């Protein structure tokens, strides 16, 4: 028989029996213990954290570092499929920042104060040069960014660093000279090998030669008017891309001045114009051979004085250098009607991404 001591915290009750006359005490103790255990299991919420994010529209973004120079804003948005609807895209944009930071997209929003290169460099010293080079190719069909930029113009770009430099998914230029804002959205049509940049109405920004030395290429990296010292038009394309005669003519020579030109072909048109194809990986014609427009004359490459795989296409008549755009004419491609809905959804998502920079101002 056990005895309850006045100061004992718990009654000493054997496991196989209850305290005579006091069953309520045991039940109370068991109920208290069970409630305590349930509380400890269910109340496991983490401690409150300090508010380290600022809300921008429907998204959370990490505030830029303080300082005199404007900083790019890390936007929590990944590139969604082109077929996604605006509502679906908005739903993903409101997701947690942890899933978005892996995408690495940043929005840079900067007022032009000097040249394009210095504008980007002041906003991002590490990637400013690469950003300026890629950005300038987007709008060089509509404006000369070396001469026509004005103080107060505004550049906005959604970009991320890559192993090869930078990638731009969307951009805009508010131009005082043109009195409008140019926009560019990266998109790959279903039938295309490479993505391209398109206006909001579904028209491709870059013009295409009606008589082109390539049926497929990534981008035109240089126009004749871009650099006074550059005598041709450069097409970025992988090594081995079939290269075509733009017009019928006679092959006058191949593989001359190979230290600079690499493997190369020259064709003389009926009007005396000489077409030169430089930096080829191989040539498929010989001097004296007649070719027709569209015949394969070789394959693009990276030979000679070349900084990367591309085709240099040049036209000369006597001592004059001719612009391929003037000689061959250009055309603009469009998004097909059946793909317009997907394209508009893609543009809406990218507009939302670029809009975050506006919200920060």
Ordered by start, the domain boundaries in the chain are: 54-207+334-360, 208-331
Can you give the pTM of this predicted structure? 0.68
Classify domain 208-331 at the CATH superfamily level.
Answer: Glucose Permease (Domain IIA) (2.70.70.10)
pLDDT digits (tens, 9 = 90+) for 9-38: 433 334 334 444 455 545 555 555 555 554
Q: What is the pLDDT of residue 249?
A: 98
**Chain position carrying tokens 């840079």:** 108
Q: What is the pLDDT of residue 103?
A: 63
Q: Quick one: fold of 54-207+334-360?
A: Nuclear Transport Factor 2; Chain: A, (3.10.450)
Maximal CA-CA distance, the chain: 125
Tell whether the torsion through CA atoms of 280, 285, 290 and 293 is positive or negative. negative
Q: What is the pLDDT of residue 37?
A: 52
Q: What is the pLDDT of residue 294?
A: 97
Q: What is the pLDDT of residue 32?
A: 55
Buried b (16+ CB within 10 A) or exposed e, 239-276: bebebbbbbebebbebbeeeeebbbbbbbebeeebbbb
Tell me which residues of the chain have a pLDDT lower than 70: 1-103, 228, 356-361
Matching fold, domains 54-207+334-360 and 208-331: no
């Amino acid at each position: 028989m056990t005895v309850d001591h006045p100061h004992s915290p718990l009654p000493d009750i054997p496991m196989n029996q209850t305290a005579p006359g006091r069953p309520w005490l045991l039940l109370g103790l068991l109920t208290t213990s069970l409630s305590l255990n349930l509380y400890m299991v269910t109340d496991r919420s983490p401690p409150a954290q300090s508010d380290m994010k600022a809300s921008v529209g429907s998204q959370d973004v990490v505030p830029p570092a303080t300082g005199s120079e404007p900083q790019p804003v890390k936007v929590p948005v990944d590139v969604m499929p082109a077929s996604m609807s605006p509502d679906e895209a908005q739903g993903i944009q409101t997701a947690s920042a942890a899933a978005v930071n892996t995408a690495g997209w940043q929005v840079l929003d900067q007022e032009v104060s000097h040249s394009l290169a210095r504008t980007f460099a002041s906003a991002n010293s590490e990637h400013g040069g690469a950003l300026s080079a890629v950005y300038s190719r987007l709008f060089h069909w509509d404006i000369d960014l070396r001469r026509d930029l004005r103080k107060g113009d505004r550049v906005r770009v959604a970009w991320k660093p890559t192993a090869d430099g930078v990638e731009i998914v969307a951009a805009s230029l508010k131009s005082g000279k043109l009195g409008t804002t140019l926009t560019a959205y990266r998109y790959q049509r279903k039938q295309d090998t490479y993505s391209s940049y398109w206006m909001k109405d579904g028209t491709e920004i870059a013009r295409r030669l009606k008589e082109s030395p390539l049926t497929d290429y990534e981008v035109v990296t240089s126009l004749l008017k871009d650099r006074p010292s550059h005598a041709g038009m450069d097409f970025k394309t992988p090594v081995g891309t079939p290269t075509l005669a733009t017009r019928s003519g006679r092959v006058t020579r191949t593989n001359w001045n190979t230290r600079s030109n690499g493997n190369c072909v020259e064709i003389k048109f009926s009007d005396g114009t000489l077409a030169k194809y430089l930096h080829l990986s191989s040539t498929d014609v010989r001097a004296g051979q007649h070719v027709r427009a569209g015949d394969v004359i070789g394959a693009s490459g990276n030979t000679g004085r070349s900084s990367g795989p591309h085709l240099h296409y040049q036209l000369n008549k006597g001592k004059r250098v001719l612009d391929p755009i003037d000689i061959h004419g250009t055309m603009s491609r469009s998004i097909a009607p059946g793909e317009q809905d997907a394209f508009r959804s893609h543009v809406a998502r990218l507009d939302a991404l670029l809009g975050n920079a506006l919200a920060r101002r």
